Structure 1
Amino acid sequence: MDPKLASIIEQVKVDIITPTQQRDNAKQQEEVSRSFISDTITVPTKEMFAYAVQASVGDDVYNEPSTIALEAHIAELTGKEAALFVSSGTMGNQLAIRTHLQQPPNSIICDVRAHINKYEAGGAAIHSGALQNALTPKNGHHLTLKDIEPHVVFGTDVHSAPTRIICLENTLNGTIMPQSDIIEIADFALKNGILMHLDGARLWHAAVETRTPIDELCAPFDSVSLCFSKGLGAPVGTCLVGPKAFIQKARWFRKIFGGGMRQTGVLAGSVAYALSHNFPLLPRVHALAKRLQAGLEELQVGILSPAETCMVFYDPSTIGVEYWEIIDRAAALPKPISLTGSRLVVHIQTSHEAVEDFLSLIRTLKEEKVQAGIVPSPVDSDGMRNVYVRATRPSTPTR
């Protein structure tokens, strides 16, 4: 071999597998089981990999059989004509907005806490030239038609951007949007020529908790984005669903956005495994989240947003404890727990032990505050328990 070529070949070579990779992976899975940061951190299992590597090896820009089969299944599952596999929930949402909207000016209505408003880097403005009209629900839980209707922009006034899409999110901060309110908003939208998009990143949780079929939850919407890498534990992927012509155009925009992928069969295989084997685990996830809430309430910790599905938001100031104290002490445990701020996220790989260890830590911190005289004893001089007020709903961290 030519020495110069041999030198270049040597420079290009790389080995990313460490000598202790299997142990490292096992350690990572243990860490994930004790992390309440997000459900995006779940790791693929050996069983998932074993199934995924049997998938087809085509090119998704041209023809990828396993991915096509997954898209067909998701379209049928959601009751829509077609589906498109994309890399992330953000891409799914942004493709939907860009595909729905034609020539500006346009505006969209969404919840002020929505992912498309807070955590997609201004994508609607950048990709679609759209104004986001972000509303705060008056009931503190979810948007209703009474919230939305006064803010819809009609007509041809050159000073305004007409409302073209109403974007809802279900679940949002782990809370379920009532289907009756969704249908009322959708009926209004249909009568007024406004499109409906759903960020259904964790719609799987709503289906399990309400015992409502996926297609029924999706029926009021023109398009829906469903994630597989959050509650379901797949390593990568989202499907955008909608009418056939809409998905065909979205596929074009996916290519423009740089999202056209190649050998996605192994990813489709991972998703298929997650749908078949991980989706049934969600009832346990919800039960663990409710156990977290109940344990915190027993300790008189403030609950900012209850465990409707996989998340609990809490306020430890009611027992004289600050978030940073909990985060630091949890990280220093013999078996560390990972936390961030007010949000606790339970996922399919969360261990029961981690939940109980977290509650035990909160109990210890509370006892320390009582002993230091920072907060009153849980039982006052009359033998009555102190009353702790519920704080206001927090701003959620990113997914």
Structure 2
Amino acid sequence: MSATLEKARDTVADLVKLDILSATTPAFDNDITRKQIARTFISDTITVPTKEMYAYATLSSLGDDVYHEPTTLELEAHIAKITGKEAGLFMPSGTASNQIALRSHLKQPPYAVLCDHRAHIYKYEAGGAGFHSGAAVTPLIPKNGHHITLDEVKAGMIYGPDVHFAPTEVVALENTLNGTIFPQEEVIAISNFVHSKGVKMHLDGARIWHVAAETGTSLEELSRPFDSVSLCFSKGLGAPIGSCLVGTREFISRARRLRKLFGGGMRQTGILAGSAAYALTQNFPLLPRVHALTRKLEKGLEEIGVGITSRAETCMVFYDAYSIGTDYDEIAERASKLSDPLHLGGSRLVVHIQTSEQAVDDFLALIAEIAKEKKDAGFVKPTTQANGLVRDVYVRRSN
């Protein structure tokens, strides 16, 4: 090797180098980050791995998931088993899991997907159903404000010979949806009807763990009415990355090919699967405490006089800032200026396994202080909204 080439290579190597732990880079402190997360109500996606989770995950296998990754295969088989399905597929995200599920079910357009108008696959996946699958979406607004019903599904589904409409080929439900539990008897009734029409059922079960933990219902029973189910590890369970899609072997085989097509074929996923396995064992039992803390939050808000727009059934509560004469921006700004700041994102308050009880107490104290100030300034809580309508709730949401 010539000295000139060796010097050039050394120069390139120097340019490539990066030491993120160097003192010359902006300082970061994961202990500070964990403290901030304990005081963040924006989402449960911000939970972080503990040192114990990382230590367990580093013992995982080092295979290539496109070819053969033992730890990941074991995770997929376990999730398939506990949901009563034939096979599973590890996915990089809940959005990928949902979108690949729809694409795997939908073969030849025209077709439509029916779901709740608040569903993640409709509102928060960047129009993926249309982009990836060429599918129309039929969003339903539940009259009860909580969940769509069998009668609403019957009225919303498109089937029959009329060529003007794209026939419904998938009905997608979400459980939980905004933290609320979809009644299982209604799920079963919808499933029986949908299947009687030869239509598929998909469940966005990103937070299905909360339903199982709250009701004591097995994952197999909750999943039984569906042809495919997506379950997320990175929200309520606190793993760093990943979801799992389950269904029949034929369905998962098609989904695996589509995952590759979508650019989701991953390599050394063992450490991610190991983190998910740790979360299943160690973090799932923490969810009842999360639900109790959410109910404490709701009760405290009601005692202050704050209107609740969606109740604390699991890990979320939605509140109406206008009911005490303020708005979400003012609350968020004042929360950010506390000596120990709180991090908020609109009307949705999300409690997670790393939320501290002190954060809940401090939030309620701030709300009580603001409510008193507004009352002293002359604000009177209206008994009804203008024109008898419920005020629109401002929601800033990311998953």
Instruction: Specify every segment of 5 or more residues in structure 1 that has no aligned partner in the other structure, as ranges.
Output: 377-385
Provide the residue aligned with 1:398 in structure 2.
Answer: 398
| Residue pair 1:113, 1:395 contacting (<8 A) in 2 also | no
User: 1: CA distance between counterparts of 2:384 and 2:339?
Assistant: 31
User: 2: CA distance between counterparts of 1:335 and 1:36?
Assistant: 14
Provide the residue aligned with 1:202 in structure 2.
Answer: 207
1:167 Cα offset (Å): 0.3
| Residue pair 1:304, 1:391 contacting (<8 A) in 2 also | no
| Residue pair 1:140, 1:393 contacting (<8 A) in 2 also | no
| Residue pair 2:320, 2:393 contacting (<8 A) in 1 also | no
User: 2: CA distance between counterparts of 1:151 and 1:18?
Assistant: 58
1:367 Cα offset (Å): 1.5
Matches within 5 A, 1:7-86: 7-19=11-23, 24-86=29-91
Indicate which of 100, 117, 120 corresponds to 2:125.
Answer: 120
Matches within 5 A, 1:1-399: 2-19=6-23, 24-375=29-380, 391=390, 394=393, 396=395, 397-399=397-399
User: 2: CA distance between counterparts of 1:280 and 1:391?
Assistant: 37
Q: Which amino acid aligns with 2:67?
A: Y
User: 1: CA distance between counterparts of 2:153 and 2:358?
Assistant: 43
Closer, same or farther: CA 76–103 of 1 in aligned 2, 3 Å: same
Superposition CA RMSD, Å: 1.7
Closer, same or farther: CA 138–365 of 1 in aligned 2, 3 Å: same
The residue matched to 2:332 in structure 1 has which SS? helix
Aligned length: 390
1:388 Cα offset (Å): 8.1
1:373 Cα offset (Å): 2.3
**What's the TM-score, normalizing by structure 2?**
0.95
Identity %: 58
Deviations 1:19-57 (A, max 9, x none): 499961000000000000000000110000000000000
| Residue pair 1:67, 1:268 contacting (<8 A) in 2 also | yes
1:375 Cα offset (Å): 3.6
Q: Which is worse superposed, 347-356 or 148-157?
A: 148-157
| Residue pair 1:223, 1:241 contacting (<8 A) in 2 also | yes
The residue matched to 1:318 in structure 2 has which SS? helix
| Residue pair 2:61, 2:69 contacting (<8 A) in 1 also | yes
**What's the TM-score, normalizing by structure 1?**
0.95
| Residue pair 2:61, 2:70 contacting (<8 A) in 1 also | yes
| Residue pair 1:92, 1:239 contacting (<8 A) in 2 also | yes
The residue matched to 2:322 in structure 1 has which SS? helix
Q: Which amino acid aligns with 2:18?
A: V
1:165 Cα offset (Å): 0.5
1:391 Cα offset (Å): 4.6
1:398 Cα offset (Å): 2.7
User: 1: CA distance between counterparts of 2:298 and 2:210?
Assistant: 17
Q: Which is worse superposed, 389-398 or 9-18?
A: 389-398
4+ runs of 1 displaced by more than 6 Å?
A: 20-23, 386-390
